[in-house]
């Protein structure tokens, strides 16, 4: 019997059923794939069922073919990288056939698009015209055969020796944005080319993937391993992984992996006091902030065996604090992948229920590697994994939120970061706010924070704006609003937008709602703009007055050197030890404060609580009557600044 081209509405609605009451399943992928270790390639077959959950008809489908970024030096990715890939660095994906299940062959209807630029040679976006529109509320099923040639590991994917990190490896349908979703005024495909500075965007659904690899390989992947079948004659094993309510699937294989499991047990990891304190901070019942057990899996290189417990400790910290602060991790497993030496380009990257870390046997725990990478990449299970913003267009909503969250956890669990490069040398301890601020200062005014990933001045500006600048922007907002208010903003945003596609204005709406304030002034300046904060102690004058009783008239002038405006606090200390605090809205270019009393001004400090991390020059924030200490203070500021920046350059995470 011939299968009908379009499924009926009840089937479409079944595909769109929610899990946990929230996730609309737009896609359903059934994939079978075989790893060919001689050709460094994957042969795959994909059955994709896509639901049109909009109110409009869809007459064309669009797909990401990310692996074609490595096809030659003509792709947009390579042009942006100024790349000239070597032969072993080439990779591509070939769609061998595409047809409607039980219906028309669409292979000859495939064509390449380049929606972001004028590069007709780019082949990372494919469109397919349909013989009949997918009506509102209906689904279409497609059968796709594909061949993926893996490059030597580059930009998160590929092989190195017998190590394989297989990511962005299958034809993946874009996102049909409904009218009113994000910035869409009418239904439209959001399916960008693969750029050097961009990551990804996809819809939620179910993945059931069968992977065949040599039987001596250890395989890890997104989701839960349902079964493993071995073919002794072929010397292969086939693994079947299944996961609902995720928007991507990645996997890894190597004969050298050591596979180790642990269980995250909330009863051991979270004390009764911590649970009560979190519930109080968030204004929620303790039951709502409780966590659930998770099976933790580590695939680690033999040479890093001594760091097994460091990986698990960092992952437990992530599961604990991301869970307490924002909501429990809902999936049954989480897998960490440790790339080998030489395969570091696969490290520091996130996928649903699986991420890659990165370390070296040289580093000490005080250097916080792999700790930082583990916590950060796990954090993407929340920011982008569940709260699935468009990373092409609004990277700050995942990288910045994750930088903010990761920094708080690392400071809480591990304390200051050691700036030294190895286990044998100890350097000064620096907290992560200072590290992020130091990185931000390298390009504070280069770009507005919010831009399409490929439209920043360069890759450095993309990185600085998406990660550290975004992180300290959120931390500065927390310092301004208070810890409890910011905690409730972040949790409300996560709970409201998990398994959905929010945009920047959705976060602003939550921030305004929860804080009870109109924070437009802050977001306009620090997200949609690039002006900087810089307040300075201008002049301090002490003058003796009075004939009989010694009195002083003192004048303190504060200047606004930067274009950005931020309410600021000023603390004045007098020679008799007393202090006076003043507040200034910071709007005009300067303000003058007068004091009369028995003692003159000894020191002045702008922002004594160091709340405004966006201030680009802390060195001019203070004055002391003993001017001899000023040069030393400025020297230390400069030393710290460059040390922080060297640390940033030495690392690299996504």
pLDDT of the residue at 175? 98
CA dihedral of 575, 581, 587, 591, whole degrees rounded to 10 = -30
Least confident of 2-16, 84-98, 457-471, 626-640: 2-16
Q: Is residue 468 over pLDDT 50?
A: yes
The predicted model gives 437-447 an average pLDDT of 95
Nearest to 500 by CA among 18, 13, 22: 22
What is the 3-state composition of the chain as percent helix, strand, coil, each rounded to the nearest 5?
A: 30, 30, 40
> Superfamily assignment of 259-487+646-650 in CATH?
Neutral Protease Domain 2 (1.10.390.10)
Each residue's pLDDT tens digit, 38-51: 999 999 999 999 99
Spatial separation of the C-alpha atoms in residues 295 and 264, rounded to whole Å = 6
Each residue's pLDDT tens digit, 377-387: 999 999 999 99
Spatial separation of the C-alpha atoms in residues 268 and 275, rounded to whole Å = 12
Each residue's pLDDT tens digit, 308-351: 999 999 999 999 999 999 999 999 999 999 999 999 999 999 99
Q: Positive or negative CA dihedral for 361, 362, 364, 369?
A: negative
Domain 9-249 and domain 259-487+646-650, same fold? Reply is: no
Spatial separation of the C-alpha atoms in residues 233 and 65, rounded to whole Å = 34
Residues paired with residue 213 on neighbouring β-strands, in sequence order: 237
Look up residue 71 and give its two tokens.
């096809």
Q: Is residue 17 over pLDDT 90?
A: no
Helix (H) / strand (E) containing 309: helix 308-326
Instruction: Decide if 572 contacts 582 (C-beta within 8 A).
Output: yes
Nearest to 591 by CA among 582, 602, 600: 582
Q: What is the mean pLDDT of the chain?
A: 91
Spatial separation of the C-alpha atoms in residues 302 and 304, rounded to whole Å = 5
pLDDT band at 555 (very low <50, low <70, confident <90, very high): very high
pLDDT of the residue at 604? 98
The label of the residue with tokens 């993937």 reads 209
Spatial separation of the C-alpha atoms in residues 464 and 649, rounded to whole Å = 11
Helix (H) / strand (E) containing 207: strand 205-214
Each residue's pLDDT tens digit, 118-136: 999 999 999 999 999 999 9
How many other C-beta atoms lie within 10 A of the C-beta of residue 557?
15
pLDDT of the residue at 88? 80
Instruction: Decide if 623 contacts 540 (C-beta within 8 A).
Output: yes
pLDDT band at 367 (very low <50, low <70, confident <90, very high): low
Spatial separation of the C-alpha atoms in residues 470 and 411, rounded to whole Å = 18
Q: Is residue 640 over pLDDT 60?
A: no
Q: Is residue 206 over pLDDT 90?
A: yes
Pairing of the two strands 333-337 and 294-300: parallel
Least confident of 47-61, 186-200, 543-557: 543-557
Nearest to 86 by CA among 179, 152, 170: 152
Spatial separation of the C-alpha atoms in residues 9 and 135, rounded to whole Å = 10
pLDDT of the residue at 2? 28
pLDDT band at 425 (very low <50, low <70, confident <90, very high): low
pLDDT of the residue at 5? 30
Spatial separation of the C-alpha atoms in residues 614 and 611, rounded to whole Å = 9
Angle (CA) 125-116-468 rounded to 5° is 105
- CA distance to 110, 193, 382, per residue, from 190 (Å): 18, 10, 22
Spatial separation of the C-alpha atoms in residues 565 and 568, rounded to whole Å = 9
Helix (H) / strand (E) containing 209: strand 205-214
Q: Positive or negative CA dihedral for 625, 629, 631, 635?
A: negative
Q: Is residue 651 over pLDDT 60?
A: no
Angle (CA) 72-391-489 rounded to 5° is 165
Helix (H) / strand (E) containing 158: strand 158-160
Percent of the chain with pLDDT over 90: 85
Spatial separation of the C-alpha atoms in residues 108 and 92, rounded to whole Å = 19
pLDDT of the residue at 429? 78
Spatial separation of the C-alpha atoms in residues 560 and 570, rounded to whole Å = 13
**Which SS3 state, helix, strand or coil, does residue 166 take?**
strand
Residues paired with residue 30 on neighbouring β-strands, in sequence order: 47, 208
Nearest to 294 by CA among 316, 322, 327, 310: 316
pLDDT of the residue at 552? 94
Least confident of 160-174, 179-193, 360-374, 512-526: 360-374
Q: Which residues of 389-415 are buried (b: 16+ CB within 10 A; e: fewer)?
A: bbbbbbbbbbbbbbbbbbbbbbeebbe
User: Residue 469: is it exposed, middle or buried by C-beta count within 10 angstroms (0-12/13-18/19+)?
Assistant: buried
Q: Is residue 8 over pLDDT 70?
A: no
Q: Where are the alpha helices (DSSP H) in 327-469?
A: 371-379, 401-413, 432-440, 459-464
Can you state the angle between helices 629-650 and 432-440, rounded to 10 degrees?
90
Q: Is residue 570 over pLDDT 50?
A: yes
Angle (CA) 58-64-70 rounded to 5° is 160
**How many Å from the N-terminal Cα to the C-terminal Cα in the chain?**
48
pLDDT of the residue at 309? 96
**Which SS3 state, helix, strand or coil, does residue 260 take?**
strand
Spatial separation of the C-alpha atoms in residues 186 and 177, rounded to whole Å = 8
Instruction: Decide if 315 contacts 295 (C-beta within 8 A).
Output: no
Domain ranges of the chain: 9-249, 259-487+646-650, 535-611
Nearest to 503 by CA among 168, 196, 177: 177
Spatial separation of the C-alpha atoms in residues 554 and 542, rounded to whole Å = 4
pLDDT of the residue at 653? 64
According to the 3-state scheme, what is the secondary structure of 559-617?
EECCCCCCCEEEEEEECCCCEEEEEECCCCCEEEEEEEECCCEEEEEECCCCCCCCECC
Spatial separation of the C-alpha atoms in residues 4 and 139, rounded to whole Å = 11
Of 3.40.50.460, 2.60.40.1730, 3.30.200.20, 3.40.50.300, which CATH number belongs to 9-249? 2.60.40.1730
pLDDT band at 19 (very low <50, low <70, confident <90, very high): very low
Please name the fold of domain 535-611.
Answer: Immunoglobulin-like (2.60.40)
**Which SS3 state, helix, strand or coil, does residue 41 take?**
strand
Q: What Rg do the C-alpha atoms of the chain give, in angstroms?
A: 27
Spatial separation of the C-alpha atoms in residues 377 and 348, rounded to whole Å = 6
Max Cα-Cα span within the chain: 111
How many other C-beta atoms lie within 10 A of the C-beta of residue 187?
18
Identify each DSSP E strand in 4-57 by its residue range.
27-36, 41-51
pLDDT band at 87 (very low <50, low <70, confident <90, very high): confident
Q: Which residues, other chains included, contact 622 with Cβ-Cβ below 8 Å and sequence gap of 6+?
A: 537, 603, 604, 605, 606, 633
Instruction: Decide if 443 contacts 460 (C-beta within 8 A).
Output: yes
Pairing of the two strands 417-418 and 429-430: antiparallel
pLDDT of the residue at 566? 98
């Amino acid at each position: 019997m011939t299968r009908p081209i379009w499924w009926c509405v009840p089937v479409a609605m079944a595909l769109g059923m929610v899990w946990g009451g929230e996730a609309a399943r737009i896609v359903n992928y059934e994939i079978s794939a075989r790893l060919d270790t001689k050709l460094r390639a994957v042969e795959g077959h994909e059955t994709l069922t896509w639901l049109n959950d909009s109110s409009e008809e869809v007459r064309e489908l669009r797909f990401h073919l990310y692996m074609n970024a490595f096809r030659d030096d003509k792709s947009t990715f390579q042009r942006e990288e100024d790349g000239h890939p070597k032969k072993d660095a080439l990779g591509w994906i070939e769609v061998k056939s595409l047809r409607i299940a039980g219906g028309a062959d669409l292979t000859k209807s495939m064509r390449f698009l380049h929606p972001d630029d004028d590069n007709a040679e780019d082949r990372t976006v494919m469109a397919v015209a349909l013989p009949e529109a997918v009506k509102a509320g209906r689904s279409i099923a497609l059968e796709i055969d594909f061949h993926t040639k893996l490059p030597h590991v580059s930009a998160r994917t590929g092989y190195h020796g017998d190590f394989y990190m297989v990511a962005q490896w299958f034809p993946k349908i874009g996102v049909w944005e409904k009218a009113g979703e994000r910035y869409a005024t009418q239904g439209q495909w959001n399916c960008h080319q693969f750029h050097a500075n961009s990551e990804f965007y996809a819809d939620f659904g179910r993945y059931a993937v069968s992977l065949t690899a040599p039987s001596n390989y250890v395989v890890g992947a997104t989701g839960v391993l349902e079964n493993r079948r071995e073919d002794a004659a072929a010397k292969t094993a086939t693994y079947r992984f299944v996961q609902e309510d995720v928007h991507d699937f990645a996997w890894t294989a190597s004969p050298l992996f050591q596979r180790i499991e642990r269980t995250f047990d909330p009863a051991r990891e979270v004390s009764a006091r911590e649970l009560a304190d979190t519930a109080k901070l968030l204004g929620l019942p303790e039951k709502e902030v409780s966590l659930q057990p998770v099976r933790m899996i580590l695939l680690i290189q033999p040479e890093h065996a001594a760091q097994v417990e460091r990986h698990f400790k960092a992952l437990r910290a992530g599961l604990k604090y991301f869970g307490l602060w924002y909501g429990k991790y809902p999936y049954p497993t989480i897998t960490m992948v440790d790339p080998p030496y030489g395969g570091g380009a696969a490290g520091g990257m996130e996928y649903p229920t699986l991420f890659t870390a990165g370390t070296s046997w040289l580093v000490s725990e005080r250097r916080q590697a792999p700790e930082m990478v583990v916590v950060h990449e796990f954090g993407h299970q929340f920011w982008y994994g569940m709260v699935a913003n468009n990373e092409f267009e609004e990277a700050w909503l995942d990288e910045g939120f994750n930088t903010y969250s990761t920094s708080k956890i690392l400071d809480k669990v591990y304390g200051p970061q050691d700036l030294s490069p190895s286990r044998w040398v100890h350097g000064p301890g620096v907290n992560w706010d200072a590290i992020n601020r130091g990185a931000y200062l390298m390009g504070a005014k280069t770009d507005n924070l919010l831009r399409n990933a490929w439209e920043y001045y360069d890759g450095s500006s993309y990185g600085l704006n998406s990660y550290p600048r975004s992180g300290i922007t959120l931390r500065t907002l927390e310092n301004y609003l208070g810890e409890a208010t910011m905690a409730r903003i972040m949790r409300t945003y996560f709970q409201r937008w998990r398994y959905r596609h929010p945009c920047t204005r959705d976060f602003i709406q939550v921030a305004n709602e929860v804080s009870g304030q109109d924070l437009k002034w802050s977001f306009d300046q620090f997200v949609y703009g690039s002006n900087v904060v810089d307040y300075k102690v201008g002049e301090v004058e002490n003058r003796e007055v009075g004939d009989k009783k010694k009195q002083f008239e003192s004048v303190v002038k504060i200047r606004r050197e930067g274009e950005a405006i931020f309410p600021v606090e000023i603390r004045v200390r007098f020679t008799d030890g007393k202090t006076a605090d003043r507040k200034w809205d910071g709007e005009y270019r300067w303000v003058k404060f007068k004091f009369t009393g028995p003692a003159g001004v000894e020191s002045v400090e702008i922002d004594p609580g160091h709340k405004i991390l966006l201030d680009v020059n802390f060195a001019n924030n203070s004055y002391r009557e003993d001017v001899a200490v000023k040069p030393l203070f400025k020297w230390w500021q400069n030393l710290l600044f460059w040390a922080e920046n060297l640390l940033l350059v030495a690392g690299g995470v996504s």
